[in-house]
Amino acid sequence: MKKSLFTIMAAMAFCLGANAQEIKEDFKPSELNQPGQEYPMVNSQGYARFRINAPGAAQVKVSLGLGGQGGTTLKHMGDGIWEGTTAGPMDEGFHYYHVSIDGGIFNDPGTNNYYGSCRWESGIEIPAHDADFYAEKNVPHGNVQQVLFWSESTKQLRRAFVYTPAGYGDAKNQKKKYPVLYLQHGWGEDETAWSNQGHENLIMDNMIAAGEIDPFIIVNTYGMCNEIKFGHMNDFDAKDFETVLCDELIPYIDANFRTKSDKWNRAMAGLSMGGFTTTLVTLRRTEMFGYYGLLSGGSYTPEAIKDPKQVKHIFVSCGSKENPDGVIKSAEALNAAGVKATSFVSEGTAHEFLTWRRALKAMAPLLFK
Amino acid sequence: MKKSLFTIMAAMAFCLGANAQEIKEDFKPSELNQPGQEYPMVNSQGYARFRINAPGAAQVKVSLGLGGQGGTTLKHMGDGIWEGTTAGPMDEGFHYYHVSIDGGIFNDPGTNNYYGSCRWESGIEIPAHDADFYAEKNVPHGNVQQVLFWSESTKQLRRAFVYTPAGYGDAKNQKKKYPVLYLQHGWGEDETAWSNQGHENLIMDNMIAAGEIDPFIIVNTYGMCNEIKFGHMNDFDAKDFETVLCDELIPYIDANFRTKSDKWNRAMAGLSMGGFTTTLVTLRRTEMFGYYGLLSGGSYTPEAIKDPKQVKHIFVSCGSKENPDGVIKSAEALNAAGVKATSFVSEGTAHEFLTWRRALKAMAPLLFK
């Protein structure tokens, strides 16, 4: 009896796909957990295990799982504790998720929240084999600061985050000026994404400490793209955002930080919708940015670049599970047209933050040369 | 029939206590809601109304309500929507809360989260009649920056937040140096509390813009007091924290920010447990701080101040619903002993953040004189 049940389960596991394998019981708390929280956990194969306390619930599900399987259904283990493990290993890197309790959507109380999908979502980190480049190390660290600037065009106090590299505040550096990268989040996210989910500060700190790049400043602000409804992408011309960015924020940053303020020391890049926004703004404001970057955010056609001398370097990237051929070919077409371009493909990742962390690392050494 | 039901309800409302009154239907979204979220709502009397989507739930409660009544039980309104209003008006200001769905503890998906009770909790704001002093205005704004500093004593990268006043980065101010207030959070909170819940930056921005104070820097870091278990308060001598603060963080801040680094330009203050920590550290490190502040965090006995010349001004405060007599009398005793002290009582508030926002406003003009 037991054996035949095992045979059925093995057959079921086989049906779940090629990823089915024996699960190693070496689960550890996800590094994004709230202080003192054991769950969610992750094992060395990339499986995620969730545990939720909901004594009177009838059904508990987690939105994270394998594509097409609608997430992970948790099982009541007794004493109000629900537990479940993903049906297979997840891609390395950061994932958003939420919990469904009897049909209502909540966050996992075990983990920290991150702004994505136009709401603060739960986050989990599947340790990447190359996670060292954004690890917290005992190297000199830069700061990330919240800036509130008045926007006359939108009649609002608006927010930006500014990464200043280590040594920026040091008394002996007070004459030193820095180039600036304006780096945009994707749809559903906001100006907190690149430091919280993206670890832009740690990536920069580690590259600067290793002598791989010269220090520069990064600025993140809200791209106003969350106001678009799906199916109405073409209505978004980013003109309101262009005014905020180019006529309000950039002058504010140049007045309040020690920046090099010419176009050859200013870059714009963005991920996903932020890449789309970058395309729109850089092509209209050719006098303002010398370097462009699109991270899983499309590409430029050679025809769109009116004068190859208007831009020094274009960076285009995506994950290998996205559209790597499109990205590679578009860089080739740009280079063939006399516009210097570099493509980058993140191995084994999709439209997620590990792809973009790696892209920032690949793009940074190409800027301000 | 309808009338008799109304009579019963009126009688029930009367039984709920002296606060029972006709609820005005002028509810508006709480200002702490996530983008686009209508609920939770607050009306002009200070009632809070919650609405939670949980189609299959059997019981939905919110931890916020009136003291002793165990929060607010929501009622199923149909279509999976649960709704409820607090039994009476809440105190003005910020409140932490959470939602119980069938006995499991979650956050309200409508609002932002704040670190309190050693977890990220939901937050709601009951507009205060004097909210103008921490309102976002079109005045010059300072920045709040995340600083990562290596702590050799704890072998960890640790975090602090630093408020620098408006104009700090301005090219014409690059010789200007500033005094520094080290300002601590309470038990269950962390270094994010004073900027997120406390609005320390907006309070400072508005006071500086109005010419009420000279600009100074504020530093918040994690006080390590969350590691204490209730009932073991006396085990907490704050010695590990004292090393991090005095021997690691302060030298780091003085090296990386334009500070005036003598004791008469350095203050320490804290709320609740952070006040207890402040007492311990300031009395042991008399050479480091010239001003002390305890916000709902006890007081100093005159005997504890070995030499009245060791401190220029002591500030002690609490809410009128805490122990105002104790605070007032302790300042009187200090003054009688030749130690300059000022007490402050926040009218109509308890052990909550509006008390501490007001206390910061009352304390700031007394510092660095």
**Tens digits of residue pLDDT in B170-203:** 988 889 999 999 999 999 999 999 999 999 999 9
Scanning A227-246 for CB atoms below 8 A from B yields: none
Say which of A59, A118, A144 has its CB closest to residue B36: A118
Q: At what angle do helices B353-363 and B200-209 cross, to 10 degrees?
A: 30
Give the pTM: 0.92
Say which of B34, B101, B162 has its CB closest to residue A106: B101
A113 touches chain B (CB under 8 A): yes
B151 φ/ψ sector (left φ>0, alpha ψ -120 to 50, else beta): beta
Q: Outline where DSSP puts E strands in A14-153.
A: 28-29, 41-42, 48-53, 60-62, 72-73, 75-76, 81-85, 93-97, 99-101, 104-106, 113-116, 119-126, 143-151
- Model confidence band, residue A65 (pLDDT cutoffs 50, 70, 90): confident
A58 touches chain B (CB under 8 A): yes
Check residue A69 and give its pLDDT.
61
- Model confidence band, residue A233 (pLDDT cutoffs 50, 70, 90): confident
**CA A270 – CA A299 distance, rounded (Å):** 11
Look over chain A and give the mean of its residue pLDDT values, rounded to a whole number.
93
Give B355-367 pLDDT, tens digit per residue: 999 999 999 999 9
Check residue A30 and give its pLDDT.
98
Q: What is the mean pLDDT of residues A141-151?
A: 97
The span from the first CA to the last CA of chain A, in angstroms, equals 70
Q: What is the mean pLDDT of residues A10-36?
A: 75
Cβ–Cβ below 8 Å for B102 and A102: yes
Check residue B69 and give its pLDDT.
62
- Model confidence band, residue B333 (pLDDT cutoffs 50, 70, 90): very high
Check residue A10 and give its pLDDT.
42
Cβ–Cβ below 8 Å for B53 and A106: no
Quick check: A175 and A201 in contact, CB under 8 A? no
Give B81-137 pLDDT, tens digit per residue: 999 999 999 999 999 999 999 889 999 999 999 999 999 999 999 999 999 999 999
A162 touches chain B (CB under 8 A): yes
**CA B138 – CA A148 distance, rounded (Å):** 10
- Model confidence band, residue A346 (pLDDT cutoffs 50, 70, 90): very high
Q: Which residue has the higher pLDDT, B8 or A244?
A: A244
A104 touches chain B (CB under 8 A): yes
- Find the closest chain A residue to B205 by CA distance: A148
Quick check: B98 and B120 in contact, CB under 8 A? no
- Model confidence band, residue A20 (pLDDT cutoffs 50, 70, 90): low
Which residue in B32, B120, B121 has the most chain A C-beta atoms within 10 A of its own C-beta, making it the best mutation to test that interface? B120
- As separate numbers, helices (DSSP H) first and strands (DSSP E) second, chain A gives 8, 20
Phi, psi of B214 (to 5 degrees): -80, 145
Task: Supply A219's token pair.
Answer: 């600025």
A66 touches chain B (CB under 8 A): no
- Find the closest chain B residue to A155 by CA distance: B138
Cβ–Cβ below 8 Å for B52 and A171: no
- State the SS3 of chain B: CHHHHHHHHHHHHHHCCCCCCCCCCCCEECCCECCCCCCCEECCCCCEEEEEECCCCCCEEECCCCCCCCCEECEECCCCEEEEECCCCCCCEEEEECEEECCEEECCCCECEEEECCEEEEEEEECCCCHHHHCCCCCCCCEEEEEEEEECCCCEEEEEEEEECCCCCCHHHCCCCECEEEEECCCCCCCCHHHHCCCHHHHHHHHHHCCCCCCCEEEEECCCHHHCCCCCHHHCCCHHHHHHHHHHHHHHHHHHCCECCCHHHEEEEEECHHHHHHHHHHHHCCCCCCEEEEECCCCCCHHHCCCHHHCCEEEEEEECCCCHHHHHHHHHHHHHCCCCEEEEEECCCCCCHHHHHHHHHHHHHHCCC
Say which of B56, B59, B258 has its CB closest to residue A58: B56
Say which of B56, B102, B120 has its CB closest to residue A55: B102
Gap from B36 CA to chain A (nearest CA, Å): 9
Cβ–Cβ below 8 Å for A35 and B145: no
pLDDT at B78 over 50: yes
